[in-house]
Amino acid sequence: MAATNAKKRTAKTQPGPAQKKAKTFEKSKLAPSLKRSKPITAPADSAEEESDLDEEGEDDVDFEASPDDTEEMQIDSSKREGGNSARESHILQKAVQQSRKAAKPHSDLIAEAKRVWAQARSKEKGFTPEKRKEHVTELMKVVRGKVKEIVFKHDASRIIQTLVKYGSKAQREEICDELKGTYIDLARNRYAKFLLVKLIRLLPSHRPLILASFHGKILQSQRLLLHREASGVLADAFELYANSVERAGMVREFYGKEVSLFSSSQGDSETAKQGLAAVMKSLGGDKEKTRRILAAVKENLDSIFNNPDKGAVRHAIVHRAMWEYLDVLGEMQDSAEADKLRRELFDNSQELLPEIVHTKDGSRVAREFLARGNAKDRKVILKALKPHIERMCIDEEAQMVLLTAMDVIDDTKLLQKSLASVITQPATLNTLIQTPQGRRVILYLIVPRSKRHFTVAQIKALGETDAARDAGTSKKSPETRQAEVRKGASEALLKWIEEKGGELVMDETNPASSLVVGEIMLYAEGDKSQASQALLRILAKPYPPPSTASSHPIDLPHTSRLYKTLLQGGHFNHSLKSVEPCASWNPFAFAVQFVDTVGSDDGQTIKDVCIKGDRNGTFVVAELCGALVKASYDRKAEEGKEVRKKLKLWLTAPEMLKEIHEGETTGVRGVKVLVDAVGTL
């Protein structure tokens, strides 16, 4: 019986296509539900506990019984063993439950609200927005004037959340007005905190008032940032919904009571808006005040680092305060004092660095420690980050820490052992190649700060630590360090291409993977013959492929561009109107392998590529001819004399030339380029 009932409840809560469509329609009218950036230390498949409730979870769970009722519903086992049947026990249980619920404050109000709530959140087929609006209006009439009394109960809190979710702006404002004076209590409550986050998200007009209620309580009187429930509310407000002025006001509490009280009395002063650096500038060189403010920031940060729960250290508001503190230290004239304070902050937070690298400011803090630290500090940082490197590689902000490590650490053997060896594991590479962020990390091992793969903003951000590095914390030149990193990673990357290259360049769902393959082939150091063979082997199939098979690799645009780039010896520079040759790549050797491998069937595949299909391959064969001809001018003709002769024999036979020229007359793209190239053989 219990199993049957459970099955029915499960079936009832799973919406069908029509219900899903209606739900999507309802959501589209709401403000977007955002999520805070996730720490790299959190499990990959879990959501942040502090985040706002998921819209699905809010509506699909039955909350008839609150956690407080669970204990009341338990029936003494001795009564059951005394001969009562299951039916009698159930009746007794229901009677006890109902009597205890009726004795609670506002029981009638909550019972009536639940009845209307069940209708307002209905997901039945044909339930229109107009019907929902009627039920929401009725629900509002039931709870009006009593919101503050019931909102802290587990199930009643969900009722008010539904009102905020589906209600009109006027209804939301009415609820918000009723709750004035209780915002702090809402933030600290296990259930009501979700309602407060919804009000912050859906009522921008009331957001400044709600955030202003936190003033003086974030790190001072009530220390909300260290509260298990309230810290999540503050984190959501700061990272997702507050504007720059509101964020500055929240961070201001880290500066101590002196600055906080002064700023609040002066309103939105310009110095307060611009952060700690502007506050310091406004002091006019008063060393005593400067020391007091810096000491206050350090004390507040230490209280977060030393908090047993350690949850607050993940939040962006803490990372902003850390970065502002380090930024001010970088501008201090007394370098010895600045180094001392920076050292103290690093010593207190070094074990927590994996918790902060997922935000922009947290990433910048870790990068600053790397750039200004000594060899021992950098080793400690890499040791702390090593268990999380794969997750960092696919995080937009955290990966910047890894890229900076490659820029500043002189001990490239340590880099190879702690960083590059983890990134270049086959399983890790297969994961990273699937995302733009992951591909960026792979490319940075080979072609760091290349404008072909990194935006101007990314290169500028990476350059922020160059001044600290060049000031003396790093001894090697950037070129030497890059060359050593590239050399250390090359063997594993080429081995990966040897094993997976054919599969990667044929992946039509992820064409960008061929760009990574191309950069590795061009710029990696070492023997590339086996990797080249793996790339050419997939071309040595009959052309065109059978109708039931997938496309031939040479017909794929991204794949044909890869082979064309490898045959021409580098990337084409549009500003110079010429190819930039790559010193670590031999296009002539690749062309010889191309003819030997793809033309192993007496050149039939190469010939078919020239006269059949969509003619993507004609450009590749034209580059093949050009590579062999260019080698003649470079006095390498003897090495490939037979290969060039063989290719010329295949492509200049009378019947072959006739078919190629027939394609030219019909305007098939690439044929003219091929004809000109064949003429040079």
Query: Residue 17 has what pLDDT?
Result: 45
Residue pLDDT, tens place only, 85-133: 777 777 777 776 666 655 566 677 888 888 999 888 888 888 888 999 9
List the end-to-end C-alpha distance of the chain, in Å, as a whole number. Answer: 84
- Does 63 lie in the same domain as 201? yes
- Is the pLDDT at 234 greater than 90, yes or no? yes
The neighbour count for residue 286, using CB atoms within 10 Å, is: 12
Query: Residue 171 has what pLDDT?
Result: 94
The neighbour count for residue 39, using CB atoms within 10 Å, is: 21
- Does 552 lie in the same domain as 530? no
Is 383 a domain residue?
no
- Does 527 lie in the same domain as 545? no
Q: Which residues of 219-243 are buried (b: 16+ CB within 10 A; e: fewer)?
A: beebbbbbbebbbbbbbbbbbbbbe
Q: Which residues of 104-116 are buried (b: 16+ CB within 10 A; e: fewer)?
A: eeeeeebeebbeb
Task: Provide the domain limits for residue 500.
Answer: 388-538
Is 259 a domain residue?
no
- Does 671 lie in the same domain as 560? yes
Is 430 a domain residue?
yes
pLDDT confidence of 655, banded at 50, 70, 90?
confident
> How many domains does the chain fold into?
3
- Does 455 lie in the same domain as 567? no
Contact, 313 vs 352, CB < 8 A? yes
Query: Residue 195 has what pLDDT?
Result: 95
Is 363 a domain residue?
no
- Does 621 lie in the same domain as 534? no
- Does 548 lie in the same domain as 413? no
Distance between CA atoms of 276 and 332, rounded to whole angstroms? 13
- Is the pLDDT at 524 greater than 80, yes or no? yes
SS3 339: helix
Which of 161, 178, 213 is the endpoint of a domain? Answer: 213
Residue pLDDT, tens place only, 63-89: 444 444 444 444 444 444 444 577 777
What would the mean pLDDT of 143-165 be, rounded to a whole number? 89
Contact, 492 vs 424, CB < 8 A? yes
pLDDT confidence of 616, banded at 50, 70, 90?
confident
The neighbour count for residue 171, using CB atoms within 10 Å, is: 17
pLDDT confidence of 368, banded at 50, 70, 90?
very high
Distance between CA atoms of 35 and 54, rounded to whole angstroms? 10
pTM of the shown model: 0.85
Environment class of 525 (CB within 10 Å of its CB; exposed 0-12, middle 13-18, buried 19+):
middle
Which of 490, 506, 538 is the endpoint of a domain? Answer: 538
- Is the pLDDT at 410 greater than 90, yes or no? yes
Which of 538, 572, 588 is the endpoint of a domain? Answer: 538
pLDDT confidence of 155, banded at 50, 70, 90?
confident
Give the helix ranges, DSSP H, for 469-615.
478-505, 513-523, 529-537, 557-568, 587-598, 604-611
- Does 59 lie in the same domain as 137? yes
Distance between CA atoms of 316 and 335, rounded to whole angstroms? 28
Query: Residue 669 has what pLDDT?
Result: 67
Contact, 500 vs 466, CB < 8 A? no
Using CA atoms, how far residue 513 sits from 85, 506, 598, in Å, is 67, 9, 22
What would the mean pLDDT of 569-574 be, rounded to a whole number? 92
Is 656 a domain residue?
yes
Residue pLDDT, tens place only, 314-362: 999 999 999 999 999 998 888 899 999 999 999 999 999 999 999 999 9
The neighbour count for residue 531, using CB atoms within 10 Å, is: 22
Is 35 a domain residue?
no
Distance between CA atoms of 27 and 20, rounded to whole angstroms? 10
Is 339 a domain residue?
no
Is 570 a domain residue?
yes
Contact, 384 vs 40, CB < 8 A? no
Contact, 211 vs 237, CB < 8 A? yes
- Does 520 lie in the same domain as 412? yes
- Does 596 lie in the same domain as 524? no
- Does 671 lie in the same domain as 522? no
- Does 512 lie in the same domain as 401? yes
